[in-house]
Amino acid sequence: MAYDDDNVFARILRGEIPNKTVAEDEHTLAFEDISPARAVHVLVIPKGAYVDWVDFAANATAEEQVAFTRMIARVAEITGIAETGFRVISNIGENGHQEVPHLHMHVLGGEPVGRMLPRD
């Protein structure tokens, strides 16, 4: 899938849409989900234009990949969920029910997140 420069996270990265930033570094931004599914719900995104995990794994630099991985743990520490536990989810493509076509990890916690994965 080609990257869509008008997706909402690209617009957040350009500063066209506000966000509640939790943490940021050279390669990565973490911000609160606008519609939180749990008490803590933070999205971690690379600043580079990657559609999903497959694109990121193939095309991001090692430095970007390390920064992204570390940011997930940093978010858990900042939000206080590292000790109590949390879930990291990345929805990919149609079957994965990905709505925004810019790679993001959902970091969810602050309360029990439930079992994996109930059928609708």
Active site residues: 104
In the complex, minimum distance from the CB of residue 22 to ligand AMP, in angstroms, rounded to a whole number: 11
Which of 19, 28, 76, 108 touches ligand AMP by CB under 6 A? 19
Does 33 engage in binding with ligand AMP (CB under 6 A)?
Answer: yes
C-beta closer to ligand AMP: residue 16 or 63: 16
Does 115 engage in binding with ligand AMP (CB under 6 A)?
Answer: no
What are the structure tokens assigned to 108, written together? 């969810």
Q: In the chain, where does DSSP find H-type helix?
A: 8-13, 53-59, 62-79
Within 10 angstroms of residue 66's Cβ, the number of other Cβ atoms is: 13
Pairwise CA distance, residues 80 & 93, whole Å: 30
Contact 109, 84 (CB under 8 A): yes
Q: Using DSSP, how many helices (H) and how many strands (E) does the chain show?
A: 3, 5
Does 54 engage in binding with ligand AMP (CB under 6 A)?
Answer: no
In the complex, minimum distance from the CB of residue 1 to ligand AMP, in angstroms, rounded to a whole number: 13
C-beta closer to ligand AMP: residue 63 or 96: 96
Pairwise CA distance, residues 1 & 102, whole Å: 11
Which of 1, 5, 16, 34 touches ligand AMP by CB under 6 A? 34
Does 97 engage in binding with ligand AMP (CB under 6 A)?
Answer: yes
